[in-house]
Structure 1
Amino acid sequence: MHNILSSLRVDINSDLYLKDPESSPLGLKIVKSSIDLIDLHGIEEFNFKKLAKAIGSTESSIYRYFENKHRLLLYLSSLYWGIMEFQMVVQTNNMNPGMEKLLKAVETLFSTPETTYSSFEVDGGKLRHILNSEFVKAYHHKLVDVQNEAGYFSIYKRLALRLSEMIVGVNPKYAYSNSLASLIIEGSLNQYFLSEHFHNLTDCHSKDNLYLFHKDLLTKTLKH
Protein backbone atom coordinates (compact mmCIF):
# COMPACT_ATOMS: atom_id res chain seq x y z
CA MET A 1 0.00 0.00 0.00
CA HIS A 2 2.76 2.47 0.96
CA ASN A 3 4.60 1.89 -2.34
CA ILE A 4 1.42 2.51 -4.32
CA LEU A 5 0.61 5.71 -2.45
CA SER A 6 4.16 7.01 -2.69
CA SER A 7 3.85 6.92 -6.50
CA LEU A 8 0.78 9.17 -6.41
CA ARG A 9 1.07 12.90 -6.87
CA VAL A 10 -1.05 15.75 -5.62
CA ASP A 11 -3.05 17.02 -8.59
CA ILE A 12 -2.43 20.75 -8.26
CA ASN A 13 -4.30 23.21 -10.48
CA SER A 14 -2.03 23.85 -13.47
CA ASP A 15 -3.01 27.53 -13.56
CA LEU A 16 -0.90 28.07 -10.43
CA TYR A 17 2.33 27.51 -12.34
CA LEU A 18 3.79 28.29 -15.75
CA LYS A 19 5.88 25.13 -15.84
CA ASP A 20 5.22 22.09 -13.66
CA PRO A 21 7.82 22.12 -10.84
CA GLU A 22 7.65 18.33 -10.70
CA SER A 23 8.87 18.10 -14.28
CA SER A 24 12.52 18.95 -13.60
CA PRO A 25 15.24 18.89 -10.92
CA LEU A 26 15.27 22.70 -10.95
CA GLY A 27 11.53 22.84 -10.31
CA LEU A 28 11.84 20.42 -7.40
CA LYS A 29 14.70 22.51 -6.00
CA ILE A 30 12.62 25.70 -6.33
CA VAL A 31 9.80 24.21 -4.26
CA LYS A 32 12.09 22.73 -1.62
CA SER A 33 14.15 25.88 -1.16
CA SER A 34 11.11 28.16 -1.18
CA ILE A 35 9.71 26.18 1.75
CA ASP A 36 12.99 26.62 3.63
CA LEU A 37 13.12 30.36 2.95
CA ILE A 38 9.45 31.18 3.58
CA ASP A 39 9.59 29.23 6.83
CA LEU A 40 12.64 31.24 7.84
CA HIS A 41 11.68 34.75 6.65
CA GLY A 42 7.91 34.72 6.11
CA ILE A 43 6.16 35.43 2.82
CA GLU A 44 6.54 39.23 3.12
CA GLU A 45 10.34 39.11 3.27
CA PHE A 46 10.64 36.26 0.80
CA ASN A 47 11.34 37.05 -2.85
CA PHE A 48 12.64 35.34 -5.98
CA LYS A 49 15.99 37.13 -5.73
CA LYS A 50 16.68 35.41 -2.40
CA LEU A 51 15.39 32.13 -3.78
CA ALA A 52 17.63 32.35 -6.86
CA LYS A 53 20.66 32.95 -4.67
CA ALA A 54 19.75 30.00 -2.43
CA ILE A 55 19.49 27.56 -5.33
CA GLY A 56 22.39 28.97 -7.34
CA SER A 57 20.23 30.01 -10.27
CA THR A 58 18.67 33.16 -11.71
CA GLU A 59 15.42 34.99 -11.01
CA SER A 60 14.40 34.54 -14.64
CA SER A 61 14.64 30.77 -14.30
CA ILE A 62 12.22 30.87 -11.34
CA TYR A 63 9.80 33.08 -13.27
CA ARG A 64 9.60 30.32 -15.87
CA TYR A 65 7.85 28.23 -13.21
CA PHE A 66 5.85 30.76 -11.17
CA GLU A 67 4.39 34.11 -12.16
CA ASN A 68 4.89 35.57 -8.67
CA LYS A 69 5.33 34.58 -5.03
CA HIS A 70 1.58 34.62 -4.37
CA ARG A 71 1.07 31.87 -6.96
CA LEU A 72 3.93 29.99 -5.33
CA LEU A 73 2.23 30.31 -1.93
CA LEU A 74 -1.01 29.02 -3.42
CA TYR A 75 0.94 26.12 -4.92
CA LEU A 76 2.49 25.25 -1.54
CA SER A 77 -0.94 25.49 0.10
CA SER A 78 -2.40 23.08 -2.42
CA LEU A 79 0.53 20.74 -1.91
CA TYR A 80 -0.04 20.78 1.85
CA TRP A 81 -3.79 20.15 1.68
CA GLY A 82 -3.30 17.46 -0.95
CA ILE A 83 -0.85 15.58 1.24
CA MET A 84 -3.18 15.91 4.24
CA GLU A 85 -6.04 14.57 2.15
CA PHE A 86 -3.98 11.51 1.20
CA GLN A 87 -3.14 10.91 4.84
CA MET A 88 -6.76 11.29 5.92
CA VAL A 89 -8.00 8.86 3.28
CA VAL A 90 -5.35 6.28 4.17
CA GLN A 91 -6.01 6.52 7.91
CA THR A 92 -9.81 6.25 7.61
CA ASN A 93 -10.20 4.08 4.51
CA ASN A 94 -11.41 0.87 6.20
CA MET A 95 -13.44 2.51 8.97
CA ASN A 96 -17.24 2.64 9.11
CA PRO A 97 -18.99 6.03 9.36
CA GLY A 98 -19.19 7.26 12.94
CA MET A 99 -17.41 9.17 15.66
CA GLU A 100 -14.35 6.91 15.66
CA LYS A 101 -13.74 7.61 11.97
CA LEU A 102 -14.30 11.34 12.39
CA LEU A 103 -11.89 11.56 15.31
CA LYS A 104 -9.24 9.60 13.39
CA ALA A 105 -9.63 12.06 10.50
CA VAL A 106 -9.29 15.01 12.87
CA GLU A 107 -6.24 13.49 14.56
CA THR A 108 -4.66 13.00 11.14
CA LEU A 109 -5.43 16.59 10.19
CA PHE A 110 -3.43 17.79 13.20
CA SER A 111 -0.37 15.72 12.28
CA THR A 112 2.71 16.70 10.27
CA PRO A 113 2.36 16.11 6.51
CA GLU A 114 4.14 12.97 5.35
CA THR A 115 5.82 14.21 2.19
CA THR A 116 6.39 10.64 1.01
CA TYR A 117 2.91 11.15 -0.46
CA SER A 118 4.41 13.55 -3.01
CA SER A 119 7.40 13.84 -5.34
CA PHE A 120 8.97 16.52 -3.16
CA GLU A 121 11.58 15.64 -0.56
CA VAL A 122 10.72 18.56 1.71
CA ASP A 123 10.48 19.10 5.44
CA GLY A 124 6.85 18.44 6.36
CA GLY A 125 7.23 20.34 9.62
CA LYS A 126 8.35 23.47 7.78
CA LEU A 127 5.49 23.15 5.29
CA ARG A 128 3.00 22.93 8.17
CA HIS A 129 4.61 25.93 9.89
CA ILE A 130 4.23 27.97 6.69
CA LEU A 131 0.53 27.11 6.49
CA ASN A 132 0.06 27.97 10.17
CA SER A 133 1.40 31.48 9.53
CA GLU A 134 0.71 32.22 5.89
CA PHE A 135 -2.37 30.34 4.65
CA VAL A 136 -4.77 33.11 5.60
CA LYS A 137 -2.80 35.41 3.27
CA ALA A 138 -3.46 33.03 0.39
CA TYR A 139 -7.16 33.82 0.32
CA HIS A 140 -7.83 36.98 2.36
CA HIS A 141 -7.54 39.42 -0.54
CA LYS A 142 -9.67 41.13 -3.18
CA LEU A 143 -9.18 38.51 -5.91
CA VAL A 144 -10.27 35.53 -3.82
CA ASP A 145 -13.61 35.12 -5.64
CA VAL A 146 -11.90 35.08 -9.03
CA GLN A 147 -9.30 32.60 -7.83
CA ASN A 148 -11.93 30.44 -6.18
CA GLU A 149 -13.90 30.36 -9.42
CA ALA A 150 -10.71 29.28 -11.21
CA GLY A 151 -10.37 26.32 -8.85
CA TYR A 152 -7.27 27.45 -6.94
CA PHE A 153 -8.74 26.21 -3.65
CA SER A 154 -10.31 23.00 -4.94
CA ILE A 155 -8.15 20.64 -2.86
CA TYR A 156 -8.78 22.61 0.33
CA LYS A 157 -12.53 22.62 -0.33
CA ARG A 158 -12.56 18.92 -1.19
CA LEU A 159 -10.86 18.09 2.09
CA ALA A 160 -13.47 20.17 3.95
CA LEU A 161 -16.23 18.30 2.13
CA ARG A 162 -14.75 14.95 3.18
CA LEU A 163 -14.76 16.10 6.78
CA SER A 164 -18.30 17.46 6.48
CA GLU A 165 -19.51 14.10 5.17
CA MET A 166 -17.90 12.35 8.15
CA ILE A 167 -19.73 14.74 10.48
CA VAL A 168 -23.03 13.84 8.80
CA GLY A 169 -22.05 10.19 9.25
CA VAL A 170 -22.01 10.78 13.01
CA ASN A 171 -25.21 12.80 13.21
CA PRO A 172 -27.28 13.15 10.01
CA LYS A 173 -29.57 15.65 11.75
CA TYR A 174 -26.80 18.11 12.56
CA ALA A 175 -27.53 21.23 10.51
CA TYR A 176 -24.08 22.84 10.38
CA SER A 177 -21.73 20.16 9.08
CA ASN A 178 -19.97 22.45 6.58
CA SER A 179 -19.44 25.17 9.17
CA LEU A 180 -18.11 22.70 11.71
CA ALA A 181 -15.79 21.12 9.14
CA SER A 182 -14.28 24.48 8.15
CA LEU A 183 -13.97 25.43 11.84
CA ILE A 184 -11.95 22.27 12.51
CA ILE A 185 -9.69 22.76 9.49
CA GLU A 186 -9.05 26.41 10.30
CA GLY A 187 -8.46 25.41 13.92
CA SER A 188 -5.86 22.89 12.85
CA LEU A 189 -3.76 25.87 11.77
CA ASN A 190 -4.96 28.76 13.91
CA GLN A 191 -4.62 27.04 17.28
CA TYR A 192 -0.97 26.27 16.51
CA PHE A 193 -0.47 29.90 15.51
CA LEU A 194 -2.08 31.15 18.71
CA SER A 195 0.04 28.78 20.78
CA GLU A 196 3.19 30.17 19.18
CA HIS A 197 2.32 33.87 19.23
CA PHE A 198 -0.64 34.47 21.58
CA HIS A 199 -0.02 31.87 24.23
CA ASN A 200 -2.81 32.99 26.59
CA LEU A 201 -5.52 32.83 23.90
CA THR A 202 -5.49 29.04 23.61
CA ASP A 203 -5.22 25.96 25.78
CA CYS A 204 -3.92 23.89 22.87
CA HIS A 205 -0.15 23.95 23.20
CA SER A 206 0.51 20.51 21.74
CA LYS A 207 -0.95 18.13 19.20
CA ASP A 208 -2.47 16.10 22.05
CA ASN A 209 -4.18 19.16 23.57
CA LEU A 210 -5.46 20.17 20.15
CA TYR A 211 -6.91 16.72 19.54
CA LEU A 212 -8.52 16.49 23.01
CA PHE A 213 -10.10 19.94 22.60
CA HIS A 214 -11.68 18.99 19.29
CA LYS A 215 -12.68 15.56 20.60
CA ASP A 216 -14.54 17.28 23.43
CA LEU A 217 -16.08 19.77 21.00
CA LEU A 218 -17.23 17.11 18.54
CA THR A 219 -18.56 14.55 20.99
CA LYS A 220 -20.68 17.18 22.77
CA THR A 221 -21.78 19.02 19.62
CA LEU A 222 -22.77 15.91 17.65
CA LYS A 223 -24.43 14.07 20.52
CA HIS A 224 -27.86 12.85 19.37
Structure 2
Amino acid sequence: MKYLIIPVTPFEQNCSLVWCEQTLEAALIDPGGDAEVLLAGVQENGLHLTKLLLTHGHIDHVGAAAELAARLAIPIEGPQREDAFWLESLPQQSAMFGFPHIPAFTPDRWLEQGDTVSIGNQILEVLHCPGHTPGHVAFFHRASQTAFVGDVLFRGSIGRTDFPRGDHPALIRSIRERLFPLGDEVTFIPGHGPVSTFGYERLTNPYAGDEV
Protein backbone atom coordinates (compact mmCIF):
# COMPACT_ATOMS: atom_id res chain seq x y z
CA MET A 1 0.00 0.00 0.00
CA LYS A 2 1.12 3.51 -0.80
CA TYR A 3 -0.16 6.83 0.48
CA LEU A 4 0.11 10.52 -0.31
CA ILE A 5 -0.75 13.29 2.13
CA ILE A 6 -2.71 16.14 0.53
CA PRO A 7 -3.30 19.10 2.89
CA VAL A 8 -6.73 20.67 2.39
CA THR A 9 -8.85 23.53 3.78
CA PRO A 10 -7.57 26.59 5.67
CA PHE A 11 -7.01 24.22 8.61
CA GLU A 12 -4.29 22.37 6.64
CA GLN A 13 -5.98 19.04 7.31
CA ASN A 14 -4.00 15.98 6.20
CA CYS A 15 -6.20 14.16 3.73
CA SER A 16 -4.54 10.84 2.87
CA LEU A 17 -4.83 9.32 -0.58
CA VAL A 18 -4.13 5.60 -0.06
CA TRP A 19 -3.99 2.92 -2.72
CA CYS A 20 -3.29 -0.69 -3.55
CA GLU A 21 -0.27 -0.97 -5.81
CA GLN A 22 -1.57 -4.18 -7.42
CA THR A 23 -5.04 -2.96 -8.41
CA LEU A 24 -4.53 0.84 -8.35
CA GLU A 25 -7.80 1.09 -6.40
CA ALA A 26 -7.70 4.02 -3.99
CA ALA A 27 -9.49 5.68 -1.11
CA LEU A 28 -9.38 9.14 0.41
CA ILE A 29 -9.18 9.26 4.19
CA ASP A 30 -10.76 12.46 5.53
CA PRO A 31 -11.55 14.42 2.34
CA GLY A 32 -12.09 17.67 4.20
CA GLY A 33 -12.40 20.03 1.25
CA ASP A 34 -10.77 21.22 -1.98
CA ALA A 35 -12.38 18.45 -4.02
CA GLU A 36 -10.64 19.41 -7.25
CA VAL A 37 -7.23 19.25 -5.59
CA LEU A 38 -8.02 15.78 -4.30
CA LEU A 39 -9.27 14.57 -7.67
CA ALA A 40 -6.12 15.93 -9.31
CA GLY A 41 -4.04 13.83 -6.91
CA VAL A 42 -6.03 10.75 -7.86
CA GLN A 43 -5.62 11.43 -11.57
CA GLU A 44 -1.92 12.28 -11.37
CA ASN A 45 -1.20 8.90 -9.82
CA GLY A 46 -3.35 6.97 -12.31
CA LEU A 47 -5.69 5.66 -9.64
CA HIS A 48 -9.32 4.55 -9.48
CA LEU A 49 -11.03 6.07 -6.45
CA THR A 50 -13.44 3.52 -4.97
CA LYS A 51 -14.40 4.84 -1.51
CA LEU A 52 -14.13 7.61 1.05
CA LEU A 53 -13.12 6.90 4.65
CA LEU A 54 -13.89 9.24 7.55
CA THR A 55 -12.21 9.26 10.96
CA HIS A 56 -14.73 11.67 12.53
CA GLY A 57 -17.41 14.23 11.75
CA HIS A 58 -15.63 17.59 11.96
CA ILE A 59 -16.02 19.71 8.86
CA ASP A 60 -12.31 19.96 8.02
CA HIS A 61 -12.25 16.15 7.75
CA VAL A 62 -15.51 15.54 5.87
CA GLY A 63 -16.28 18.71 3.94
CA ALA A 64 -15.79 17.27 0.44
CA ALA A 65 -17.10 13.77 1.19
CA ALA A 66 -20.73 14.15 0.10
CA GLU A 67 -19.75 16.03 -3.07
CA LEU A 68 -17.18 13.43 -4.11
CA ALA A 69 -19.51 10.53 -3.26
CA ALA A 70 -22.27 11.99 -5.42
CA ARG A 71 -20.00 12.90 -8.33
CA LEU A 72 -18.25 9.52 -8.47
CA ALA A 73 -21.02 7.25 -7.14
CA ILE A 74 -18.74 5.81 -4.46
CA PRO A 75 -19.53 4.97 -0.82
CA ILE A 76 -18.61 6.80 2.36
CA GLU A 77 -17.46 4.54 5.21
CA GLY A 78 -17.05 5.79 8.79
CA PRO A 79 -16.94 7.19 11.31
CA GLN A 80 -18.55 5.31 14.21
CA ARG A 81 -22.25 6.17 14.63
CA GLU A 82 -21.77 8.23 17.80
CA ASP A 83 -20.52 11.00 15.47
CA ALA A 84 -23.87 11.21 13.68
CA PHE A 85 -24.67 14.46 15.46
CA TRP A 86 -21.54 16.06 13.99
CA LEU A 87 -22.53 15.06 10.44
CA GLU A 88 -26.07 16.33 11.07
CA SER A 89 -24.63 19.69 12.15
CA LEU A 90 -22.54 20.26 9.01
CA PRO A 91 -24.67 23.25 7.88
CA GLN A 92 -24.03 24.92 11.23
CA GLN A 93 -20.34 23.99 11.13
CA SER A 94 -20.14 25.54 7.65
CA ALA A 95 -21.48 28.86 8.88
CA MET A 96 -19.36 28.85 12.04
CA PHE A 97 -16.04 28.28 10.29
CA GLY A 98 -16.69 30.22 7.09
CA PHE A 99 -16.88 27.21 4.78
CA PRO A 100 -19.21 27.06 1.77
CA HIS A 101 -22.54 25.49 2.74
CA ILE A 102 -22.17 21.75 3.27
CA PRO A 103 -25.35 19.72 3.75
CA ALA A 104 -25.76 17.03 6.36
CA PHE A 105 -25.28 13.44 5.19
CA THR A 106 -25.26 9.88 6.50
CA PRO A 107 -22.40 7.56 5.53
CA ASP A 108 -23.14 4.37 3.63
CA ARG A 109 -21.51 2.37 6.40
CA TRP A 110 -20.92 3.15 10.05
CA LEU A 111 -17.75 1.55 11.38
CA GLU A 112 -17.11 -0.23 14.69
CA GLN A 113 -14.11 -1.48 16.63
CA GLY A 114 -12.80 -4.61 14.92
CA ASP A 115 -14.28 -3.88 11.50
CA THR A 116 -12.11 -3.86 8.39
CA VAL A 117 -12.24 -1.88 5.17
CA SER A 118 -10.69 -2.97 1.90
CA ILE A 119 -8.85 -0.97 -0.73
CA GLY A 120 -8.11 -3.29 -3.62
CA ASN A 121 -6.09 -6.12 -2.06
CA GLN A 122 -5.23 -4.08 1.03
CA ILE A 123 -7.03 -4.29 4.38
CA LEU A 124 -7.33 -1.52 6.96
CA GLU A 125 -8.31 -2.44 10.51
CA VAL A 126 -10.77 -0.12 12.28
CA LEU A 127 -10.05 1.12 15.80
CA HIS A 128 -12.74 3.02 17.70
CA CYS A 129 -10.83 5.82 19.45
CA PRO A 130 -13.29 8.13 21.25
CA GLY A 131 -12.28 11.28 23.08
CA HIS A 132 -11.81 14.03 20.51
CA THR A 133 -15.27 13.06 19.31
CA PRO A 134 -17.32 10.10 20.58
CA GLY A 135 -17.40 8.29 17.25
CA HIS A 136 -13.79 8.85 16.17
CA VAL A 137 -12.06 5.93 14.45
CA ALA A 138 -8.52 5.27 13.27
CA PHE A 139 -7.36 3.03 10.42
CA PHE A 140 -4.41 0.64 10.72
CA HIS A 141 -2.61 -1.06 7.82
CA ARG A 142 -0.80 -3.89 9.57
CA ALA A 143 1.32 -4.99 6.61
CA SER A 144 3.06 -1.61 6.32
CA GLN A 145 2.76 -0.70 10.02
CA THR A 146 0.99 2.54 9.15
CA ALA A 147 -1.91 4.16 11.02
CA PHE A 148 -4.19 7.02 10.06
CA VAL A 149 -5.35 8.49 13.35
CA GLY A 150 -7.26 11.67 12.52
CA ASP A 151 -7.27 14.08 15.46
CA VAL A 152 -6.59 11.58 18.26
CA LEU A 153 -2.81 12.01 18.41
CA PHE A 154 -0.31 14.46 16.94
CA ARG A 155 3.45 14.79 17.00
CA GLY A 156 4.01 16.24 20.44
CA SER A 157 0.33 16.80 21.19
CA ILE A 158 -3.14 15.24 21.39
CA GLY A 159 -6.59 16.07 20.09
CA ARG A 160 -8.75 18.75 21.67
CA THR A 161 -11.53 17.61 23.99
CA ASP A 162 -13.34 20.92 24.53
CA PHE A 163 -15.86 20.30 21.73
CA PRO A 164 -19.35 18.92 22.45
CA ARG A 165 -19.06 15.37 23.84
CA GLY A 166 -15.28 15.57 24.00
CA ASP A 167 -13.81 13.41 26.75
CA HIS A 168 -10.18 13.85 27.84
CA PRO A 169 -9.87 10.64 29.91
CA ALA A 170 -11.41 8.66 27.02
CA LEU A 171 -8.91 10.22 24.59
CA ILE A 172 -5.95 9.20 26.74
CA ARG A 173 -7.35 5.66 27.03
CA SER A 174 -7.77 5.52 23.24
CA ILE A 175 -4.14 6.47 22.75
CA ARG A 176 -2.72 4.17 25.41
CA GLU A 177 -5.02 1.17 24.96
CA ARG A 178 -5.81 1.24 21.22
CA LEU A 179 -2.91 2.99 19.46
CA PHE A 180 0.31 2.50 21.44
CA PRO A 181 -0.16 -1.31 21.74
CA LEU A 182 0.07 -1.56 17.94
CA GLY A 183 3.82 -1.13 18.33
CA ASP A 184 6.54 1.49 18.72
CA GLU A 185 7.60 1.11 15.09
CA VAL A 186 4.20 2.10 13.69
CA THR A 187 4.23 5.31 11.67
CA PHE A 188 1.09 7.39 12.07
CA ILE A 189 -0.40 10.11 9.93
CA PRO A 190 -2.24 12.64 12.08
CA GLY A 191 -5.07 14.89 11.00
CA HIS A 192 -2.77 17.90 11.09
CA GLY A 193 0.99 18.40 11.14
CA PRO A 194 3.95 16.06 10.61
CA VAL A 195 3.98 12.28 10.82
CA SER A 196 5.51 10.51 13.80
CA THR A 197 5.74 7.05 15.34
CA PHE A 198 3.92 5.61 18.32
CA GLY A 199 7.26 4.81 19.93
CA TYR A 200 8.44 8.42 19.71
CA GLU A 201 5.18 9.71 21.15
CA ARG A 202 5.12 7.09 23.90
CA LEU A 203 8.55 8.28 25.04
CA THR A 204 8.17 12.03 24.50
CA ASN A 205 4.55 13.13 24.23
CA PRO A 206 3.88 15.53 27.15
CA TYR A 207 0.16 14.64 27.28
CA ALA A 208 -0.02 10.89 26.70
CA GLY A 209 3.54 9.54 26.97
CA ASP A 210 4.97 7.14 29.52
CA GLU A 211 6.19 9.94 31.80
CA VAL A 212 2.76 11.53 32.23
Say whether the fold is shared (TM-score over 0.5). Answer: no
TM-score by length of 2: 0.31
TM-score by length of 1: 0.29
Instruction: Tell me which of the two structures has the higher relative contact order, counting C-alpha pairs closer than 8 angstroms and 6 or more residues apart.
Output: 1
Q: Which has the higher strand share?
A: 2
Q: Between Structure 1 and Structure 2, whose CA radius of gyration is higher?
A: 1
